[in-house]
A and B are shown apart, each in its own frame.
Chain A
Amino acid sequence: MKARMLERADVLKIVDLLRQQGYEVFAPFSGRGRDTWFDLVNDENRDRIQVHLPNPYYPPKRFVLPHIERLLKVRRSNGEIQIEPTYRERKRALFGIRSCDLAGIWHLDRFYLGRDFRDVYYEKRRKNLFLVNVVCTDPERDIGEECFCPCADTGPAARDHFDLQLMDLGGEFMAVAGTPAGEALFAHSMFKQGTEAQVEKRHAILSEVRKRFKTTTSWFPATVRYVSQGNILEKTWEDIGNRCLECGGCTYVCPACTCFTVSDRQVGPDEIERVRIWDACALSGFTRMAGGFNPRRAVHDRRNRRFFRKLAHYFIQRELSMACVGCGRCAAVCHGDVGMPSVVEMIRRATAANDKIQPV
């Protein structure tokens, strides 16, 4: 991939450049404390964009799979019914998406577009989305308590799936082009030629940054093996289930969760719209059928479901990536401390405790 250098003061000019090209640009902002979010950039807030900040809890997944998305508009008039699909095709750019969330979008790409039934709503949003990845390099501001992307091998620096990647090398930034569209930006005079020494410096910084993560022992390979082989005791799932408050928060903040429900709502006297809404397998109604039969009643069955879907080898092979990207959001929001790193640890411990060693 081709790389160029950029003055620190010029970084936000990329936002200006994209806006000039007709993109609606979303970028991260911060309020008090841990409060951070992605917002639409305008002339007024442009200077307040943050390059280094804790990753917002509300994942940028919503730019390809909105929390609530209209699928159809249905109108009734004189006994006739008109069904009209509604699409959103505006050009959008996401400035400052973190490597973990980028891996989340890649996972969603495979899920929504890589199979028999392509999702046209997802596709239209996705193909109009330009992604500017920012590498997490600041241990104080970028890396949170719960971040564990090195365990999921999605960060701190994404290897691909971005249009443009920015990395703070101290004095200046290195820009890496991941697609022809990203490379096209290099035509602007603010991008200067780079040197081998700067590439070396990038490697050196990344090696240092990796050491600054607090959670580095989320052993996925072993857990994937245990889950796929069905070696996990029912008792372990029960322990995990007992700690789940069934709030659905983990799913809500997850950049790789895909499930949704569909609902019709009245929007006018003769008009309804059909929307899809993020749904969570933690909620008891998720599998409840008309008539009341629910094949998945116990909460630990539902927790089992979530972690099985994320960790089973079958799904990793099918989507070519794991449905956990190591962002740590679930660990941050879970009141019962059954976010992914804890679950991986609980499974490992329970499996180890199961080893029977008999002194002879």
Chain B
Amino acid sequence: MNCEAHSAGSPVAATENIYLPKLAVLDRVSDNIPEVKTFFWHFEDAAEQAQFRRFRPGQFAQVSLFGLGEFPASLPPSPTEDETFFTIRQVGSCTAALHQLKPGDKFAVRGPYGNGFSMEDYYGKNLVFVAGGIGLIPLRSCIVYALKHRDQYQRIQIFYGSKTPKELMYLPNLREWQQSAGVECYLTVDRAADSWSGNVGVVGSLFKKPGVQVPVDNTMAFVCGPPIMFRFVIKDLLAMGFREGDIVSTLERYMKCGVGKCGHCCIGVAYVCVDGPVFTYEQIKKLGEDI
């Protein structure tokens, strides 16, 4: 009837149902660290799978466990990898149910959503990744992507810390990065165990270690981790001379829709789901809420 409003806005052709998740099949599960598992899966429908595989590093998806609900989950794989997976910590009822699933079980996914990291814009720059704990999950995608396009970037550094050696995420990847010639990968733990011969201390302590030289000019810094780690790392980076616009991170918020409608993730003028989850520190500061 009175429908002029319907033609306003962006040109999306046929209206698809933005809330309709598609069935996914769990292929296998691998244990990472306590309470965190990686779930390898594919869409039941091949066309759906192909479409989903166009995701960018830093994007996320909504995962459905019917009867319990939906939750947003980072996409740790790089689009350059063949497998599709989530790495999920068990924190609430939905994630607990996911942790109970066996290979062959079905759940549902919709996405990918969010802006993601614009990795192509960073061609020709140094990349410095700083992650704490499970903050490595969203950054893993960028790191793998950057290493796949190694020639496009200058130096690549990874600084990663966890509470204990047992809680280091993606151990096979970490070993690979440590041994790779093209990457400088530094690890640290807050509390060492007997077997640990590496650095002990917070992630920021790695910056000051002898032999470590963090490039500041022409560099993008990626920072992901718990709020306290984030605050201290930002302080360190700014002290080193990083510009606020050259530090990027991903924000996490409670989300119900993932498509800018439900309102839960809105901070200031930004909807984390559609305007983010990737923001520069310059933007985060202006949003005016705790990370």
Contact = CB atoms under 8 A, between A and B. Distances in A.
Contacts of B1: 127-131, 163, 179, 181
Contacts of B269: 312, 314-315
Contacts of B263: 258-260, 279, 281, 309
Interface in B102-133: 106, 108
Given A83-B108, A117-B18, A286 B69 contact: no
Interface in B15-44: 15-23
A315 B263 CA distance: 13
Interface in A95-128: 106, 109-121, 123, 126-128
Contacts of B17: 85, 120-121
B188 to A, nearest CB: 24
Interface stretch (A6-14, A205-213, A262-270, A333-341): A262-270
Contact of A290 (B20, B66, B95): B95
B274 A290 contact: no
A245 interface: no
Interface in A273-324: 274, 276, 279, 281, 286-291, 293, 295-296, 301, 305, 308-309, 312, 314-315, 320
A92 to B, nearest CB: 10
A161 interface: yes
B289 interface: yes
Contacts of A163: 1-2
Contact of A106 (B5, B267, B291): B5
A272 interface: yes
Contacts of A328: none
A-side interface size class: 35 or more
Nearest to A75: B66
A268 to B, nearest CB: 11
Given A117-B18, A120-B18, A314-B269, A260 B23 contact: no
A119 B264 CA distance: 17
A113 B9 contact: yes
B91 A263 contact: no
Identify whether the interface residues of A are mostly helix, strand, loop, or mixed.
mixed
A120 B15 contact: yes
Contact of B290 (A121, A295, A314): A295
Given A119-B18, A260-B256, A260-B263, A295 B5 contact: no
Contact of B2 (A179, A264, A289, A305): A179
Contact of B23 (A71, A81, A129, A279): A81
B163 interface: no
Nearest to A82: B23
Nearest to A286: B264
A261 B71 contact: no
A72 B6 contact: no
A161 B21 CA distance: 34
B15 A114 contact: no
B contact face: mostly helix, strand, loop, or mixed: loop
B260 A115 contact: yes
A126 B261 contact: no
Contact of B71 (A287, A290, A308): A290
B69 A262 contact: yes
A178 interface: yes
B5 A113 contact: yes
B266 interface: yes
Report which residue of A79, A112, A264, A309 has the largest number of chain B beta carbons within 10 angstroms of its beta carbon. A264
A307 to B, nearest CB: 13
A74 interface: yes
Contacts of B268: 308
A263 B69 contact: yes
A121 B261 CA distance: 12
A217 B256 CA distance: 38
B8 A131 contact: no
Contacts of B3: 126-127
B253 interface: yes
Nearest to A131: B2
Contacts of B106: 79, 81
Interface string B82-110: 00000000011011000000000010100
A191 interface: no
B20 A83 contact: yes
A176 to B, nearest CB: 13
A57 interface: no
Contacts of B20: 72, 83, 85
Given A85-B20, A114-B8, A288 B254 contact: yes
Given A83-B21, A119-B18, A162 B2 contact: yes
Contacts of A296: 289
Interface in B245-269: 252-254, 256-257, 259-264, 266-269
B9 A123 contact: no
B12 interface: yes
Contact of B12 (A118, A181, A258, A312): A118
B5 A110 contact: yes
Given A260-B261, A264-B69, A295-B253, 13 more contacts: A81-B108, A85-B20, A113-B8, A115-B10, A117-B18, A120-B18, A163-B2, A264-B66, A279-B256, A279-B262, A279-B264, A291-B91, A291-B92
Query: Top 7 nearest A-B pairs by Cβ distance?
Result: A290-B92, A259-B263, A109-B5, A114-B9, A117-B259, A291-B91, A290-B91
Interface of B: 1-3, 5-6, 8-10, 12, 15-23, 66-71, 91-92, 94-95, 106, 108, 227, 252-254, 256-257, 259-264, 266-269, 274, 289-291
Interface of A: 71-72, 74, 76, 79, 81, 83, 85, 106, 109-121, 123, 126-131, 161-163, 178-179, 181-182, 258-264, 266, 272, 274, 276, 279, 281, 286-291, 293, 295-296, 301, 305, 308-309, 312, 314-315, 320
